[in-house]
Structure 1
């Protein structure tokens, strides 16, 4: 049975959550990172003040540090090496794993371009149970419609929903579409939940970043939070999540 993929987005935690989910023991950190490398789990590498991201892999991990596969673009690699802060996000046994590095050296691993970084002193391992995400894939992905301009000149923009949770939504932004702004709230939005109905949430953009796939393709994504959703919106989201989880479970049982 396949497990549901965890979105590789930067997680913001409170101080109380840090006490519960931060690993400090070097042996525990080493064990988690070695397992990620052995399983060849995807790793998101955020740089440029968390505004750009590339997908990569952990190549090797030991007590001195870790080797990370370089990006496909030499330009990205130069920016990564010059970054003062890099955030890595991956998964381990369906939990999100996140750590920060401030030291990056570009070199060769087994004669291939790679980055070497010291072993992190702390590592976040977080598995939230109160927010359930549903990944969407083409051609059945949900759509979010945003009216970004005031009436009467407003225009409806269609954006693809990358993932959806009770707490928010991630959107794929295409070229020449509405330019979303971090910190701005969009009050005229609509998402149709098949079999449930439409919701009209207020969304607040919390992050914007470019994603470069391992093939070199670049896209732009927006992480948005539902701002003070009303009871009807929450109820419909809960029903939709439950419905989709049930369908996924039935599908997995037949595979």
Structure 2
């Protein structure tokens, strides 16, 4: 599973801001809801290469701190304490909740070890799973075949995938107009171990990126249009498969 380098991220679509909580009382209420519901929290760190499962134990709005359950794996505990960025992902009443911390420390709660983080100043709360994206494998990346108006097809690598769309990287001009609003019906992606997903892609955003070797590539954020339920189920199954592999990978390294 070493080629499955996945990481949960917040969508970069322009309308994400409407799902961000900034109100301290709402953030505290959400965190306390996680406590009362006993929800598990996935914490991703070291650029998504490691994962530790935890839960919220206590929220102190006056001290602006949050206490989290200490992990059972001592190696992962030490790694997360040294991490400079931790992405916390969970759900509450079927609504996805995500926030980021740039530091975590060891503390105690009711006589046992715990993690302490600062109360987040913003939190992402989303009704729809598709706003959470998983970066796809770097080795043997997923490829999307996009039909052209000339009856041919071009192939692009997927950078990430979600239930609502994909991000693609275009390393060189393909003779296809990847401009905002362009739609491409009949696209296909082979999902290893799952099946073939077919859909229409609509370009929602494009921007230029610089690769490690200095070359320029085009990155495009694409949305699924009129996705059939069966196809969406395939993609959800693939996302779940990646998440499970990610957890197993983290456990193996621990």
Q: TM-score range, shorter-chain basis?
A: 0.5 to 0.7
CA contact (8 A) 1:162 1:169 kept: yes
Structure 2 gaps of 5+ residues are: 28-44, 48-84, 89-97, 101-120
Confirm whether residue 4 of structure 1 aligns to residue 7 of structure 2: yes
State the TM-score, normalizing by the size of structure 1. 0.54
Aligned partners of 1:209 and 1:124: how far apart in 2? 26
| Aligned mate of 1:192, from 190, 193, 206 | 190
CA contact (8 A) 1:211 1:221 kept: yes
CA contact (8 A) 2:170 2:218 kept: yes
CA contact (8 A) 1:22 1:124 kept: yes
| Aligned mate of 2:207, from 202, 206, 209 | 209
Q: Which residue of 1 aligns with 2:165?
A: 168
Aligned partners of 1:136 and 1:5: how far apart in 2? 10
Q: Give the drift of 1:174.
A: 2.0
Aligned partners of 1:138 and 1:22: how far apart in 2? 32
Deviations 1:25-57 (A, max 9, x none): 8xx9xxxxxxxxxx999xxxxxxxxxxxxxxxx
Deviations 1:150-170 (A, max 9, x none): xxx321100000000001000
Q: Give the drift of 1:218.
A: 2.3
Confirm whether residue 93 of structure 1 aligns to residue 117 of structure 2: no
Aligned partners of 1:212 and 1:40: how far apart in 2? 22
Q: Which residue of 1 aligns with 2:140?
A: 140
Q: Which residue of 2 aligns with 1:238?
A: 236
SS at match of 1:233: helix
Alpha carbons of structure 1 residues 3 and 185: separation in structure 2 relative to 1, 3 Å: closer
Alpha carbons of structure 1 residues 40 and 187: separation in structure 2 relative to 1, 3 Å: closer
CA contact (8 A) 1:148 1:188 kept: no
SS at match of 1:93: strand
Q: What are the equivalent positions in structure 2 for 1:1-255 lying under 5 Å apart?
A: 4-6=7-9, 9-13=12-16, 15=18, 17=19, 21-23=20-22, 93-94=87-88, 95=98, 125-126=123-124, 128=126, 130-131=129-130, 132-149=132-149, 153-177=150-174, 178-212=176-210, 216-255=214-253
Q: Give the drift of 1:239.
A: 1.1
What is the aligned-residue RMSD (CA, Å)?
3.2
SS at match of 2:129: coil
CA contact (8 A) 2:181 2:204 kept: yes
SS at match of 2:7: coil
Would you say how many aligned residue pairs link Structure 1 and Structure 2? 161
State the TM-score, normalizing by the size of structure 2. 0.54
**Quick check: 135-144 or 223-232, which moved more?**
135-144
Alpha carbons of structure 1 residues 40 and 169: separation in structure 2 relative to 1, 3 Å: closer
Aligned partners of 2:163 and 2:140: how far apart in 1? 19
Aligned partners of 1:250 and 1:126: how far apart in 2? 26
Deviations 1:190-219 (A, max 9, x none): 111111111110111100100135774422
Aligned partners of 2:210 and 2:10: how far apart in 1? 15
Alpha carbons of structure 1 residues 130 and 8: separation in structure 2 relative to 1, 3 Å: closer
Aligned partners of 2:214 and 2:248: how far apart in 1? 36
Alpha carbons of structure 1 residues 254 and 174: separation in structure 2 relative to 1, 3 Å: same
Aligned partners of 1:205 and 1:140: how far apart in 2? 24
